[in-house]
Structure 1
Amino acid sequence: MLLDARGTLVADAEQARRAIYGGKKMARRRFQHGSLFRRGRRNKVWVGRWWEEIINPDGSIGRTRRAEVLGTVAELPSRSRAMEVLSKRLNPINSGTQRPQSTRSYSDFITKDWMPVVLPTLKYATQKHYRYILDIHLLPTFGSIRLTDIKRECVQSFLAAKLNSGLAWKTVKHIRSVFGRTLATAEDWGYINQNPVSKTELPRRPRNLSPRHVLQPHQVHLLTKELSEPSRSIALLLVLTGLRIGELLALRWKAVDLTAGTLRVIETVYDGHFDTPKTDRSARLIPLGAEAVALLKRLSQDQVNANSLVFATRAGGPLSRHNLLRRHLKPACKKLELGGITWHSLRHSHATMLDATGAPLGTVQALLGHSSSEITREIYLHAIPDDQRKAVAGVEALVFGLKRTQVAGASQSGA
């Protein structure tokens, strides 16, 4: 048994050939020398022309005339030099290593092939993210362009334009990732010979010097006093455990062991859709402190069964993180003048407090479920700056001869 171009099992080679080439026999391959001519007045260039086989939208094989600039006359001063370049360009065609190219547009491939076949294999949250990137950034620019006409140079220019437009480096990185993944599928399925995105680069990520929004311990107490249930318990557990909001809202009582003082992360939820945790390391066992256990014991008094969610709607479904943020957390933070705080800020607050206690990097990484220590270390860049204050105060003590007690008092009042 063999596979045709769409991945369908066929009986023999002849059937496979007909499935790939629309039932038409391919013309015998002819050795090509191509044609060569000069173009331009001031900046003269050598242009080569040749024939290429293409795959039409109906699957049949056709031929098309190609033209390509081989170089400037200054770079290739003689016709023989230009012919050498043209011969190298034609070598994959003459040797039979270059496959027929598709005439399909990027939009046609995405909407008819990639979205129905590949997109459903991704996690729900990832699907939403990919759809957004495609609809807002990729399809408006590349939708009408043929897959074979998307070149590395135009992709590199596109990424540079996105960075220059003011988009965050991380956003442009995501755009490049989605673009590369879709074209990798096009390459695997034979629509293009090489993924042009794989040869592009982004500049080094700029250091983010703006402080990350985190809460200090006394601010946690102020916030929990201001919040009503269930947001109060949700906020406190996020700070005490470092869970992601989707992990906490997907937490079921069967994953909580109040006797052992642990909870197990086995699910996450996004817009009402349950899924496996974000990464392999995200599926983890979290130790609970005495306060977290006491809080969960109080909540367990309303427990229906082991499969019930710890935080649920009246119908038993998951709460909406967006509604809780808009109706509860944001108004409370605005009243307390705690700007920029989100549910994820509470997870970062947990990380920075772990750092302040002197917890090793590997321990923090395991508790947070990060896939790499680099992610954890990045959070450390925004840790509570108490140690930095003490260090600077120590320098002042040496310079001005201040007593340590005076320095300590000054640093506390400055905090």
Structure 2
Amino acid sequence: MARRRFQHGSLFQRGRRHKVWVARWWEEVINPDGSIGRKRCAEVLGTVAEVGSRSRAMDALSKRLNPINSGSYRPQSKRCYADFIAQDWIPVVLPTLKYATQKHYRYVLDVHLVPVFGKTSLSDIKREWIQTFLATKFSAGLAWKTVKHIRGVLGRTLSSAEEWGYITHNPALKTKLPRRPIKQCSKVILTPDQFLQVRDRLKEPARSIATVLVLTGLRIGEILALRWKYVDLCRHTLRVAETVYDGHFDTPKSQRSARIVPLAEEACSTLGKLRSSSTRPDDLVFSLDTGQPLDRHNLLRRQLRPTCEKLGLLGITWHSLR
């Protein structure tokens, strides 16, 4: 690469009644094909009344050019956000995430981020724009937690762009979320009597799944990925070693999630009644006739939720049983 030239820039006044000092200079940029190009930049330094003489305007311009003239300056990329996501981030970073996270990230990118920032150069995505974008999403009726997730996905993708030299800093950092509203309702918690009413009306396998969930505190993905080789009825324990989401098996959510869980007598009894239906250690405890994992959404929609609604219990999910 040719040696970067030290720049002084140029100044001129613009306007008639309210004159302003305008600065111009050149900046190196990374073209979409990876080559280095140059672009002409211009910026209003302030009004003549505020800045003062040409000498003071040159001092302001010199400060503005300090980062560009420094030896640590890196050219900005002209690559647009959509191309970066499709050609760089999705093939390289997305596969390193868990399947459920991949699915969530793809949804946020497709629905919220690429339609807004897709055609914009990475270097032109500024903090102020992101701040306005987040406020607009919240004003449109999205939940505070959803807006937080959107910012998280945007910040993670721009962090990769910074690491790979496309931008000099991540503009999503230090953006602020709207004030979180006070929740008017808390998580629905069933009383012991309510749970027994629900359990007694459920059909198998939802009845046994609900029983084990309540007695162990497992996540629904963990219990649907439970294999007989992880269950020790003699020692009254089970081991959480896998989780499943939409038919895709993965490791548990975190290192702490990979754990040994004690089994109460009723949990052992429930699992013991199912043991005779399978003799192979790798078989799932709860599965379809084909041996494939059950779908949590179908179980919720077809069994748990209708049963709860008949009892006047609204808003119940599998998470309510943990």
TM range (shorter): over 0.9
Match of 1:55 in 2: 30
2:148 aligned partner = 173
Residue 126 to residue 42, structure 1, CA distance change in 2 (3 Å)? farther
**1:260 Cα shift?**
1.3
Give the TM-score of the pair, scaled to structure 2: 0.95
Partner of residue 8, structure 2: 33
Match of 2:292 among 317, 323, 326: 317
Of 96, 100, 116, the residue aligned with 1:121 is 96
**Alpha-carbon distance in structure 1 between the residues aligned to 2:256 and 2:127:** 35
Aligned equivalent of 1:103: 78
Q: From the superposition, tell whether residues 216 and 51 of structure 1 become closer, same or farther in structure 2 (CA, over 3 Å).
A: same
**CA distance in 1: counterparts of 2:238 and 2:19, whole angstroms:** 71
Mapped partners of 1:204, 1:198: distance in 2: 17
The residue aligned with 2:58 is 83
What does residue 221 of structure 2 align with?
A: 246
Moved more, 38-47 or 119-128: 38-47
Assess, with a 3 A threshold, how the Cα gap between structure 1 residues 215 and 83 changes in structure 2: closer, same or farther: same
Q: Which runs of 5+ in 1 are unaligned?
A: 1-25, 348-415
Whether 1:154 and 2:129 are equivalent positions in the alignment is yes
Aligned-pair identity in percent equals 68
8 A contact 2:138–2:178 mirrored in 1: no
Q: SS at the partner of 2:51? A: coil
Runs of 4+ in 1 over 6 A off after TM superposition: none
Task: Identify the structure with bigger relative contact order (alpha carbons < 8 Å, sequence gap 6+).
Answer: 2
Q: Unaligned stretches of 5+ in structure 2?
A: none
Which structure 2 residues correspond to residues 5-404 of structure 1 after superposition, within 5 A? 26-39=1-14, 45-73=20-48, 75-347=50-322
CA RMSD after TM alignment? 1.7
What TM-score do you get using the length of structure 1 for normalisation?
0.74
Matched residue SS, 2:172: helix
Contact 1:48 1:67 in 2 (8 A): yes
Deviation string, structure 1 residues 304-362 (Cα, Å, up to 9, x no partner): 21111110111111000111111111211121111111111111xxxxxxxxxxxxxxx
Which residue of 2 is the match for residue 13 of structure 1? none
Cα distance, 1:72 vs structure 2: 4.7
* Contact 1:220 1:236 (C-alpha < 8 Å) held by counterparts: no
- Aligned-residue offset at 1:38: 4.0
The letter for the 2-side match of 1:218 is D
3-state SS of 1:274 partner: strand
Contact 2:243–2:252 (Cα < 8 Å) also in 1: yes
The structure-2 alpha-carbon separation of the partners of 1:73 and 1:230, relative to structure 1 and needing over 3 Å to count, comes to farther
Over 3 Å counting, the alpha-carbon distance change for 1:82 and 1:161 in structure 2 is: farther
The CA distance in 1 between the partners of 2:124 and 2:202, in whole Å, is 55
- The answer (yes or no) to whether the contact 2:11–2:24 under 8 Å persists in 1 is yes
Give the Cα–Cα distance (whole angstroms) in 1 for the partners of residues 17 and 186 of structure 2.
53
- Cα distance in 2 between the residues matched to 1:344 and 1:335: 19
State the distance in 1 between where 2:229 and 2:290 align.
Answer: 19
Report the CA distance between 1:169 and its aligned residue: 1.3
- Cα displacement (A) at 1:117: 0.9
How many residue pairs align between the two structures? Answer: 322
